[in-house]
Amino acid sequence: MQLQVRMNADSATGGGANGRLQSSGNQPGGRSVGLIGKLSRNSEAFRELGLLIFIVVLAAIFQIRNPKFLSISNIKDLLANTAILSILAVGMMMVIITRGIDLSIGSTMALSGMITSLTVSANPGISPFLSLVQGMAIGLVAGLVIGVLVAYFKILPIIATLGLMNILRGMTYLISKGKWVSAYQMSAGFKNLSTGTTLGISNLILFAVIIYILYAYFINQTKTGRYIYAVGSSPETAELIGIKRKRIVLLVYALMGLLAGLAGVLWVSKYASAQGDTAVGYEMNVIAAVVLGGVSVAGGRGKVSGILLGSILFGILANALPLINISPFWQQFIQGLVILAAIISNVLLQRRNDKLALKKRAI
């Protein structure tokens, strides 16, 4: 019997582009696969609704504890402070969907931020746009190196990125010779990349909005975006139907590096300081936000709206806990509990989907 493979475009917007194997004779198996995909999408929609409700309830509690929480100024600060995290979450989503992980993004941010800051310090008249391009180019190279190691040398992602994390961090210290680049060494235009506004909206927020619009179109509407989901869902099947799995893996790590390079420039521009220990451990915050957003660590599943909600939730926790005078030690504890609860809920949801799928197949 000849099998026909059909990529379901709608399933990409519902949490994954699942390849449907259908027989030419409309066998019951084909209908069951479609039903399983529908159940999965409905479950993810329900999970996102629950996450949104949780955010609303949490915001109401924080507002009661501190009436300044929902003030316009604090909301602007919250969104601006969450912008860099949400930008990185886009790249991490693609990496995790393909069953990977990237622990090097904090070091990539530090290296790109340091080199661009040193360049600005030596050439105060350089265009801020060129600084962005320089930072993204540095990140792109780092991402390509990781992509080659993972896709072509078949090194485990956690090993490859852990090794490059230390290499890039060491390069940052070597290039800077252990020194900082301070605010007075940076041009006003460079600092305005993050601290400035356009039409009254923070530039950081605008960067995040533009990236999310482009990414939502890419992951949901393009063939490459659906291939990313397919590779994560079943690497072997993806190769059988002609998808260049290695190229897809290389692409997602390259894009992750590109976004990390951009985030590094925005980071040093925002804080007006480039240091060797910039963004140490920040990759864990990014991974946490992505997992909170419902991206499956087993690959093949995740939505743009989910990571946006996850980033906002993480930003709310980081913003509100200090406002209600929670000890920094308790802040980490509470954030950890929320992250753990999200992981457990995702695991339970996946098990429920698997059980429903088995029942439907039996029927």
Nearest to 40 by CA among 358, 352, 285, 267: 352
Q: What is the pLDDT of residues 89-139, one digit of tens each?
A: 999 999 999 999 999 999 999 999 999 999 999 999 999 999 999 999 999
Q: How far apart are CA 329 and CA 326, in angstroms?
A: 8
User: Where do we find the tokens 């929670």?
Assistant: 326
Nearest to 113 by CA among 181, 165, 177: 181
pLDDT of residue 151: 97
Q: In Å, how far are 2, 147, 198, 267, 314 from 288, measured between CA atoms?
A: 43, 22, 30, 19, 8
Q: Residue 6: is its pLDDT beyond 70?
A: no
pTM: 0.86
pLDDT of residue 21: 36
Beta-carbon neighbour count of residue 53 at 10 Å?
Answer: 10
Asked if 81 and 243 count as a contact pair (C-beta separation under 8 A), the reply is no
What is the pLDDT averaged over residues 353-357?
Answer: 72
Q: How far apart are CA 267 and CA 280, in angstroms?
A: 12
The chain-wide mean pLDDT, for the chain, equals 87
Sketch the domain layout of the chain as residue ranges: 3-362
Q: What is the pLDDT of residues 146-175, one digit of tens each?
A: 999 999 999 999 999 999 999 999 999 999
Longest dimension (CA), the chain: 72
| CATH class of the domain comprising 3-362 | mainly alpha
| Higher per-residue pLDDT: 352 or 4 | 352
Q: For the ranges 43-52, 60-69, 164-173, 301-310, which has the lowest average pLDDT? A: 43-52
Q: Residue 32: is its pLDDT beyond 90?
A: no
